[in-house]
Amino acid sequence: MATDAELTRYRRIAFQTAWGVLHHIADTEDVASETILRVFLEPHELRCPVYLPRYVKVTAYNLAIDFIRRRNRRDRKETGIGDWDVLENAEHHRLAFTDDWDLPDMALLRRELSEVVRDAVHPLPAHYREIVHLRLLEGLDTYESAERMGCSVGTTKSRLSRALKFLRPRLEEYVCAA
């Protein structure tokens, strides 16, 4: 796993990118956190260190767009109005990320990484595994995860923080070796 200084650097990149799309502090913080989670914990999304800053930026941007879409769906249900102008402008500038990760010789690395993450997540208590699953695999934001788990947003955030604190040392050895 990345050092605290590197995580801070990547979180800053994610925050600045998401802020450029969302312009709302709480939403931007959620997207920046989700970006860091996805980049460092999703088995098929982990990249080589050279590509990491760009990948963090692209992931944050795309998650911010997805956040707007989810908010629009919620707003349409409640009021019939959404932020379509914001989304349309952002869609014109959507970033794409391509590299060698999908080449056949990378299948072994993906499988190995998947096993390492699965082995790291398995010993977590059930409520920590659940929040990691909801946030990373299903892509829910903090509020949606809290609703799904039947607990407060604060509880959801603290469970996620504790789960990451548990996972960080277990994944650090593998990530640093890659």
pLDDT at 124 over 50: yes
Q: Is 43 or 111 the better-scoring residue by pLDDT? A: 111
Instruction: Report pLDDT for 2.
Output: 66
> Which of 39-48, 95-104, 112-121, 140-149 has the weakest average pLDDT?
95-104
Instruction: Report pLDDT for 63.
Output: 92
For residue 48, how many other CB atoms are within 10 A of its CB? 11
Mean pLDDT of 77-104: 47
Q: Alpha-carbon dihedral of residues 42, 46, 51, 54, nearest 10 degrees?
A: 0
Q: Alpha-carbon dihedral of residues 37, 135, 157, 81, nearest 10 degrees?
A: 110
pLDDT band at 162 (very low <50, low <70, confident <90, very high): very high
> Which of 8-22, 27-41, 64-78 has the weakest average pLDDT?
64-78
pLDDT band at 177 (very low <50, low <70, confident <90, very high): low
Which residues lie closer than 8 Å to 62 by C-beta, 6 or more apart? 94, 95
The whole-chain average pLDDT of the chain stands at 76
Q: b/e for 88-110, b at 16 or more Cβ within 10 A?
A: eebeeeeeeeeeebeeeeeeeee
Mean pLDDT of 102-117: 66
Fold of 4-177: Arc Repressor Mutant, subunit A (1.10.10)
